[in-house]
Structure 1
Amino acid sequence: MSNFKPFRLPLISLLLFTSVVTQNSSVSASPFVHNRRFNRPDPLHHLRLYKGGYDIRNKHYWASAAFTGVHGYAMAGIWVMFGLGFGSYLMVKGFNGGFHPFLDHPSSYFLACFALIAIFILIAIVFSSLILVANQSSLHKSKTLMDTIFGAASNMQQTIEAVMRGFSKIRALLQPYDRQTSDLLNQITNQMRKETISIQSFVEEARQASNRAMKAVYTANLVFVTANLVVLVTGCVILFLHWHPGFTILTVICWILTTVSWILTGFDFFLHVFAGDTCAAFEDFEQNQNSKNNGIMSILSSCSNLSTSDKFMAQIGYTVHKYIAESNSEITSLAFKMIHPNDQSDDSFMIQKICDPFSGPPNYTYAPGNCQQDAIQIHDLPSILSTLTCEKNTPSDICKAEGRFFPESAYGKTMAYIQSVENLIATYPDLQNLAGCTPVKRAIADVALHQCKPFRASIKLLWASILTLSIDLMILTLFWIIKAYQEKGRHFSLCSTVPRNPQQNL
């Protein structure tokens, strides 16, 4: 009985877990990759089409996505060139003797121009307000989305740390009895420690970068809209005061604001495209996460496939199931030999069995509630085993009479394996979450099903509002020029809309 060695922990599950951890390459290099292909001009590749997928590591993806806002950038360039040309014309004309006076116009002409300016100022104020609302909404929804993703990464880190703690306990228990398994567990925990450091570094860097980007976009839109509202209010004051030099200053400022507005229009359209690509990638992963062609994250490369993670967890279930089955068989055999040493068999002999929290083949599903009511729980084994252990110096007759059939020589090692399996079972839910990348998959499902639609809507509203405002500012700037020529050399009463002397030429 001193050679009793039934409590062995098979290494196959630990080796499988090592392969899972090893295949998960550094998280800091993990991109989102969407299997849909794009056909967009790539300015970094002489405007040849970018035909790759959604890959945030690829500079050509970023360049092609940013190029989608070319309409805004082009309009800004055209508006600047037109402004420089018009300004040069005015300067040349001024040096050559000024402008010919305009013909007199009826009061309705001044009233119509005033009404149109008022309408376009009102439109600009309305859409500036919409931009403020959409800007705030997009910032909030972007933060929520990023918090969901980074929260999932942090949960993965915490899960790995929980598994590490469980493995460390098992390693400490097995070190005196099973050096090979202990060393293997040490290698696994060291590898997992590197993974937690990598995840933590990735989360911190990505969170800081995303926060800076979101704040930069939010601040740019906020500063622009604030400046635009100030100019619009100032324009209303100048319109009623009829301060002619103010119209010239106002025209120059509005020209600059219109240029900035078109730049932001292009940039916000790029954000709209990027938001659509990102959500499409999440939605595709949610719908096809078990597809062999799906690769939204390299971090999910070894566990996004359901069959792979199921096989891994089934192997752990098989490990514990086999251990408990062997233990029950050995304990029953020992008890029978101790109590009936001369009998070959006795079908009436019964002993309580250790609870097996895993179902049988082929899946070995974790189901702790399936144990029989009188079964011995794993966590109760140490106290029960101590009452069944026959001390070395105690005669076998006394042990037999007291029902203590377990040899003391195997007690220490047996207890170590019992507690190891107990820790493995306690760690099993964390292992299950880690093998199936459950926190990340839940985060992606939440983003795809609940957050993407309002997120895209807020970005689209931001882009549509600033596009409309850009068009409105162009028209309004032209009306400021017309108004400046209308009022040149004329005299108006305060807050009037028509000149006091309509017959006076400019």
Structure 2
Amino acid sequence: MLCFRSNAYALFLVFLFFLFLFRHEVVSEASDVRTLHIPGYYKSFVFGGREHSEVLPWRKIERRNLAEGSEADNSSLILAEKRTYRRDPLNDFKKYTGGWNISNEHYWASVGFTAAPFFAIAAGWFVIFALCLCIICIRHCCCQLNSYGYSRTAYALSLIFLVLFTIAAIVGCVVLYTGQGKFHASTMNTLDYAVNKADVTAENLRNVSDYLSAAKKITVDSTILSPDVQKSIDDIDKKINSSASTLSRQTGDNKDRIQHGLDQMRFALIVVAAVMLFLAFLGFLFSILGLQFLVYTLVILGWILVAGTFILCGVFHLLHNVAGDACVSMDEWVQNPTAHTALDDILPCVDNATAQETLLKTKNVTYQLVNVVNAVINNVVNQNFPPASTPLYYNQSGPLVPVLCNPFHSDLTDRLCASGEVSLYNSSEVWKKYTCNISTSSGICTTPGRLTAQIYSQMSAAVNVSYGLYRYGPFLVNLQDCTFVRDTFTDISHDYCPGLRRYSQWIYIGLVIVSAAVMLSLVFWVIYARERRHRVYTKQYDARSEGLYKGR
């Protein structure tokens, strides 16, 4: 009886020790939380910077500086600087000040340090419970169960706690499984959205390149673009295609790497949830049935698995913080899109010089094409040549063809259409009224009109190319100031980040519940199984004693 009580007390002390650790972790974490208010967006939590009594909102700091007339340095920007102000184990536990940067080992060390309590619990559990198992084994070998009597209170309490912790383990597994499914779906939706935005941008760049290439082939009544303009088109085409390829390749590679990691993580979590649920159920069943050997077998297996799940708790607590850091970083970058930051590695802006050069080149080509068309209209189409006096004569007659509106001045600034000009948008429809029927033998107009089918077709082709280049002007302006990336990160921050943070939190909360519930279940598996065995043995002894007494 004394041996059993010693073993039970030892296991109960383990229960109290880890209960204290959990309480200490919750209290220390709660005292270390700071709320960063970003007006109009969301609240995020910062684990770190405990000595600071206040963390000022980043946007408020920016507006205060602007109000004071200070000029910010846009060459670089430290993202989520306040949120990532954590201790760095690689730098003598000094505070990390580099901001969110997934390519910086000090960032990972600092954010990993926030998960240190879970790693410490895993190590403490592994060592201390191993010592308890050794003590139980030694006492089991050295002591004999030669005294009788049991505590009904201890028996009832151990059964109640065993049921409660088994239910808690089931709940934790459900939370873990649900959280990983929603987190995986939310993350994949976010990745698909970012990649789709990058693909659309790259496709638009290639469309601009195609229009520029088509402009080189435009011929209106034997009039073409000048050789220097054609050469400049070749030069800019190379840069456009290079930028488009880089954008698609980099975002695609990042998606593949992240998706591979997410798939592995999802498989691991599903396996953990299934194994821990099966372990909790078998342990409860074997304890109720009093199968002590099987209980101890599961205890040893559960001892290892619990340590592993606590390590996973730390890993996903780390990932939860990284996801929160990334969301805050996106929101801050939106305010300074021209700054060089770590987000450039995820969804890069198109090179500003290339975007600006492309914009100027599309304006210049549009301007030159319109001039080519108008030169043909003024010098050929609207001229009344004597019959067969020049190769330009094809019996053009009737009302004059309106010239095309050039949307740019010679300095490529915007220009308004003058009276009598037709716009790029509807010029082909207007000009169609000025076409004539031609003789198949002579090739001259046989009806009133100033445009043959061939000239009309060539002018329409030039207009289509010009309009296409002109239509992509706003898109190129957005590339120049990186608007497409800013819009992408804004949408992710508003629409996807809340789900990412919420479901990543579900995962590590589910892991904490499962780990704690199974850990404490291990203790009460042993206590209840031994208490039940002792209770059965005591009743048998009492029955034999009563039979001997009556026999007398």
Q: Please indicate, yes or no, whether the TM-score normalized by the shorter chain is above 0.5.
A: yes
Greater relative contact order: 1 or 2 (C-alpha under 8 angstroms, separation 6 or more)? 1
Taking a change above 3 Å as real, the CA distance of residues 297 and 379 of structure 1, as seen in their structure-2 partners, is farther
Q: Show CA shifts across 1:430-454 (max 9, x none).
A: 4532441455444323211111112
Q: Which amino acid aligns with 2:198?
A: A
Taking a change above 3 Å as real, the CA distance of residues 99 and 203 of structure 1, as seen in their structure-2 partners, is farther
Q: Is the 8 A contact 2:125 2:307 kept in 1?
A: yes
- Alpha-carbon distance in 2 for matches of 1:322, 1:172: 13
| 2:190 pairs with 1:145 | yes
- Structure 2 matches for 1:309-388, cutoff 5 A? 320=366, 352-356=402-406, 364=414, 377-379=426-428
Q: Which amino acid aligns with 2:134?
A: S
Q: Which amino acid aligns with 1:475?
A: L
Q: Which amino acid aligns with 2:230?
A: S
Q: Which amino acid aligns with 2:196?
A: G
Shift, 1:209, TM fit: 1.2
State, as a whole percentage, how many aligned pairs show the same letter.
16
Shift, 1:319, TM fit: 7.0
* 3-state SS of 2:143 partner: coil
Q: Is the 8 A contact 1:33 1:55 kept in 2?
A: no
Structure 2 residue aligned with 1:344: none
- Alpha-carbon distance in 1 for matches of 2:224, 2:407: 27
Q: Is the 8 A contact 2:172 2:510 kept in 1?
A: yes
* Candidates 103, 107, 129, aligned match of 1:83: 129
TM-score, scaled relative to structure 1: 0.71
* 3-state SS of 1:141 partner: helix
Q: Which amino acid aligns with 1:61?
A: Y
Taking a change above 3 Å as real, the CA distance of residues 384 and 52 of structure 1, as seen in their structure-2 partners, is farther
Structure 1 residue aligned with 2:95: 49
Structure 2 residue aligned with 1:207: 255
Shift, 1:144, TM fit: 0.7
* Candidates 121, 130, 136, aligned match of 2:181: 136
Q: Which amino acid aligns with 2:402?
A: Q
- Structure 2 matches for 1:228-247, cutoff 5 A? 228-247=276-295
Taking a change above 3 Å as real, the CA distance of residues 103 and 318 of structure 1, as seen in their structure-2 partners, is farther
Q: Is the 8 A contact 1:33 1:296 kept in 2?
A: no
- Alpha-carbon distance in 2 for matches of 1:253, 1:432: 63
TM-score, scaled relative to structure 2: 0.66
* Candidates 327, 331, 342, aligned match of 1:283: 331
Taking a change above 3 Å as real, the CA distance of residues 429 and 457 of structure 1, as seen in their structure-2 partners, is farther
- Structure 2 matches for 1:82-481, cutoff 5 A? 82-94=128-140, 97-98=142-143, 104-173=149-218, 177-286=225-334, 288-289=335-336, 296-297=343-344, 320=366, 352-356=402-406, 364=414, 377-379=426-428, 419-420=461-462, 422-437=464-479, 439-481=484-526
Q: Which amino acid aligns with 2:127?
A: M
Can you give the 5+ residue segments of structure 2 that lack an aligned partner in the other structure? Answer: 1-75, 386-398, 545-552
- Structure 2 matches for 1:22-33, cutoff 5 A? none
- Alpha-carbon distance in 2 for matches of 1:179, 1:359: 21
- Alpha-carbon distance in 1 for matches of 2:264, 2:112: 16
Q: Is the 8 A contact 1:221 1:264 kept in 2?
A: no
Q: Is the 8 A contact 1:317 1:358 kept in 2?
A: yes
* 3-state SS of 2:536 partner: coil
Taking a change above 3 Å as real, the CA distance of residues 502 and 293 of structure 1, as seen in their structure-2 partners, is farther
Q: Which amino acid aligns with 2:467?
A: I
Q: Is the 8 A contact 2:229 2:365 kept in 1?
A: no
Q: Which amino acid aligns with 2:498?
A: K
- Alpha-carbon distance in 2 for matches of 1:434, 1:34: 27
Deviates more, 1:467-476 or 1:143-152: 467-476
Q: Is the 8 A contact 2:288 2:529 kept in 1?
A: no
- Alpha-carbon distance in 1 for matches of 2:94, 2:228: 57
Can you give the 5+ residue segments of structure 1 that lack an aligned partner in the other structure? Answer: 1-31, 340-348, 493-497
Q: Is the 8 A contact 2:369 2:462 kept in 1?
A: no
* Candidates 104, 113, 122, aligned match of 1:58: 104
Q: Which amino acid aligns with 1:425?
A: Y
Q: Show CA shifts across 1:242-277 (max 9, x none).
A: 111122112212222211221111011011101101
Shift, 1:140, TM fit: 0.8
- Alpha-carbon distance in 1 for matches of 2:372, 2:469: 21
* 3-state SS of 1:491 partner: helix
Q: Which amino acid aligns with 1:432?
A: P
Shift, 1:127, TM fit: 1.7
Q: Is the 8 A contact 1:172 1:182 kept in 2?
A: no
Q: Which amino acid aligns with 2:228?
A: Q
- Alpha-carbon distance in 2 for matches of 1:293, 1:482: 60
Q: Which amino acid aligns with 2:105?
A: K
- Alpha-carbon distance in 2 for matches of 1:354, 1:448: 45
Taking a change above 3 Å as real, the CA distance of residues 404 and 243 of structure 1, as seen in their structure-2 partners, is closer
Deviates more, 1:43-52 or 1:317-326: 317-326
Taking a change above 3 Å as real, the CA distance of residues 35 and 126 of structure 1, as seen in their structure-2 partners, is closer
Structure 1 residue aligned with 2:79: 35
Taking a change above 3 Å as real, the CA distance of residues 141 and 302 of structure 1, as seen in their structure-2 partners, is closer
In the comparison of the two structures, how many residue pairs are matched? 442
Q: Is the 8 A contact 1:382 1:415 kept in 2?
A: no
Q: Which amino acid aligns with 2:306?
A: T
- Alpha-carbon distance in 2 for matches of 1:502, 1:206: 72
- Alpha-carbon distance in 2 for matches of 1:502, 1:253: 36
